[in-house]
Structure 1
Amino acid sequence: MYVCLEGIDGSGKSTHTAMIEKWLKKCGIQVFRIFEPTDSKVGRLIREMLQDPGATDENFQRTLALLFAADRTILMEKIAQAESEGRVVVSDRCFYSSMVYQDGPEWIGEINKFARKPDVTLLLDLDPETAMTRCKGSDSFEDLKFLSRTRTRYLELAEKEGFFIVNADNGINKVHDDIKHVLAPKLGMCI
């Protein structure tokens, strides 16, 4: 099974992918945790570029979209390998991020045509003002207007694609419990 957590910066994706991994391992389930961008050469280039003050610029975002698509192509083989070994793949982001962060969903879909859709996608939904507070002092490049637009796009995509929406403002333990309530039945587990 391939599970992905999506959401704007500050929504808790990294925290909760780690918590899911710990929970599943405690239950005896093998896990392969991944994140985007990856730690490949392409992923490291993306991380470096995200530090640029102009990272939210439309042309810059197009370049990032192409790099993310390349990084995902590398990642797809690793996901397939992990699943063939019986591991649950838990991802901090997937190609859905490009669908909401970069313009042109048809183009984004085309350049990501080799990226596999997750079996389960959870959107950690958070108010952009709260996200900005959580990201203060980090290397997040977004501003409030950009995050607001991105959140709106996430909510639209969630409705279209059938994501599970989790209120990421409920506190870390409540959010984790909400995630477990979505995933446990999909994995044939009790909570």
Structure 2
Amino acid sequence: MYICFEGIDGSGKTTHAALTASWLRENGYMVHEVREPTDSNIGSLIRSMLSSPDARTPDVQRMLALLFAADRLTLRSKIEGDWAEDVVVSDRCYYSSMVYQGPEEWVCEINRFAPRPDVVILLDIDVEVAMERCGGTDEFEDPLYLAGVRERYLELADKNGFYTVNAERGVNLIQRDIRRILAPHFGICSGGIM
């Protein structure tokens, strides 16, 4: 099973991906944790480009979309091959490109070979709360920009049947909701969940 966490910066994707992976391991599952961008050479290039002052310009966003699509192919052979019987928990997937790099149709086309998650959990959070969490120093942490990204995420969630979790609460409450969502997918009794 391939599980993806999505959401704007500061929503808790990295934290909840790690906590979820740990919980699944405790329940006997072999779990692989991944993130986007990956640790591949392509991922390193993406991280470098994301930190440049012109990272939000249309041309750089198009280049990033193409690089992210290529980076996802580095995961495909693992997710669909070596890890096919295991659980993969990801901090972001191709849906991030839909909201950050768009337009959606083009992003879908260039990602047609990217692995598709079985479950997507959108960690939804108010932009101001997210800004407080992450400090607002990144090029992509502009309130107006993030408000648009959040809106696109919510539209995508509605259109694609994501599970949406209120990420403005404490970690334990958020994790409880995530575990309640995932428990039936794994046959885990949800009675003892946080």
TM-score range, shorter chain: over 0.9
The ranges of structure 1 where at least 4 consecutive aligned residues each deviate by more than 2 angstroms after the TM superposition are 81-84, 137-142
Query: Which consecutive residues of structure 2, in runs of 5 or more, have no partner in the other structure?
Result: none
Equivalent residues of 1:2, 1:119 under 8 A apart:
yes
CA deviations over 1:113-149 (Å, ceiling 9, x no partner): 0012211000000111111111117656331111000
CA deviations over 1:96-125 (Å, ceiling 9, x no partner): 000111121111111000012211000000
Counterpart in the other structure of 1:31 = 31
Distance in 2 (CA, whole Å) between partners of 1:2 and 1:94 is 10
The count of corresponding residues between Structure 1 and Structure 2 is 190
Equivalent residues of 2:124, 2:165 under 8 A apart:
yes
SS in structure 1 opposite 2:157?
helix
Aligned pairs (5 A) from 1:1-191? 1-84=1-84, 86-136=85-135, 139=138, 141-191=140-190
Distance in 2 (CA, whole Å) between partners of 1:180 and 1:139 is 31
Root-mean-square deviation (CA, aligned residues, Å) is 1.3
Distance in 2 (CA, whole Å) between partners of 1:165 and 1:41 is 32
Pair 139,39 (structure 1): closer, same or farther in 2 beyond 3 Å:
farther
Equivalent residues of 1:9, 1:140 under 8 A apart:
no
CA deviations over 1:34-69 (Å, ceiling 9, x no partner): 100000000011011111122122221111101100
Equivalent residues of 1:46, 1:64 under 8 A apart:
yes
Distance in 2 (CA, whole Å) between partners of 1:82 and 1:122 is 24
Q: Which amino acid aligns with 1:122?
A: I
Return the offset for 1:9.
Answer: 0.6
Distance in 1 (CA, whole Å) between partners of 2:185 and 2:15 is 21
Segment drifting more, 2-11 vs 132-141 = 132-141
Query: Which consecutive residues of structure 1, in runs of 5 or more, have no partner in the other structure?
Result: none
Distance in 1 (CA, whole Å) between partners of 2:23 and 2:139 is 28
Q: TM-score, normalised by structure 1?
A: 0.95
Distance in 2 (CA, whole Å) between partners of 1:153 and 1:147 is 10
Identity %: 56
